Amino acid sequence: MRLISRERQALGRVDGFARQDTVIHRLDARAKVLVTAVFLVCVASFPKHAVLPLVPFVFFPVVIASLGRLPLRWLGQRLLIASPFALMVGIANPLFDQAAVPIAPGLSVAAGWLSFVSIVLRFLLTTTAALLLVATTGMPAIAEALRQLRVPGVFVTQLQLLYRYLFLLGDEALRMERARDLRSCGRRGTGLWVSGTLLGALLLRTLARATRIHDAMLLRGFEGTIRPASPRALTRRDLVFLLGWSSAFLVCRQVPVGELLGHAVIGAQP
């Protein structure tokens, strides 16, 4: 239950970050969504043993986080929560893929370690890019941008409703946690069994509330889609951001910039 409470507060901080006024926040949401999509595709498309070719892509999240005035501590905490999933995916690679791969003159490493590092680095890059998109744009603006980019309306509506009612779920969990603490008399009623019972009650309350909300939306004429706002034209600044970063990602995908830099640092020829 306390984890839900912390995540509710973290969601509130994301909305606070999205209301800032920086050069990144003022960009059109469609440009940021497309740039992030190109970034994710390019990072995910590298071979499984690629490590050095991914290094130039670190530049993008660093620049966006700096210009968007986002705290590195907050980003680090969000990445730390999700990192066990990436570690579980790649932790067995060094055991099953022990073929030697040369990385420098007279130096080689097991291919499994390269794939493991590649998985972790891809996770850090892609997750950070997604977090930066939400923190500099806001989920309502992202959903509207997806709708204007002709993403299926069912998906966009589900995304909007999911994000909106995460806050309601968090508020309900906070009220239940506060009531339990007031009645716990020290440490009584705070064990695993009671927490499981509270989670079950939270699920039932959520289902009942969702039913009431859906009925209210139907009575107000909801037909499955949320009416979109009138799109505005992309400005020159938006186009420069979109074309500049997308071109840089495609160049880094086709040209081994990271490998060339690595060879230059260790003094070897490519």
Per-residue pLDDT of 55-68, as tens digits, reads: 899 999 999 999 99
Q: For the segment 205-215, what is each residue's pLDDT rounded down to a tens digit?
A: 878 888 888 88
The mean of the pLDDT values for the chain is: 81
Domain boundaries, the chain: 1-138+233-270, 152-229
Model pTM score: 0.79
Amino acid at 81: I
Backbone angles phi, psi at 172, to 5 degrees: -65, -40
Q: Between 115 and 101, where is the model more confident?
A: 115
Task: Give the pairing of strands 100-104 and 107-110.
Answer: antiparallel
In terms of C-beta density within 10 A (0-12 exposed, 13-18 middle, 19 or more buried), how is residue 187 classed? Answer: exposed
- What's the rounded mean pLDDT across residues 14-33? 90
More confident residue, 81 or 185: 81
Amino acid symbol at 10:
A
Residue 168 confidence (pLDDT):
76
Contact (Cβ atoms closer than 8 angstroms) between residue 54 and residue 125: yes
Q: Which of 134, 96, 151, 176 is nearest to 10 (CA)?
A: 134
Q: 76-95 pLDDT, tens per residue?
A: 888 888 788 878 877 777 77
Tokens representing 183 are 């009645």
Is the separation of the CB atoms in 258 and 52 below 8 Å?
Answer: yes
Range 165-188 average pLDDT: 73
**Number of other residues whose CB lies within 10 A of the CB of residue 103:** 15
In percent, how much of the chain has pLDDT > 70? Answer: 79
- Dihedral (CA of 144, 142, 15, 18) sign: negative
Average pLDDT over residues 4-24: 76
pLDDT of 186: 57
The pLDDT, as a whole number, for residue 268 is 47
Neighbours of 19 (CB within 10 A): 8
pLDDT at residue 269 tops 50? no
- CA quadruple 202, 206, 207, 208: dihedral, nearest 10: 100
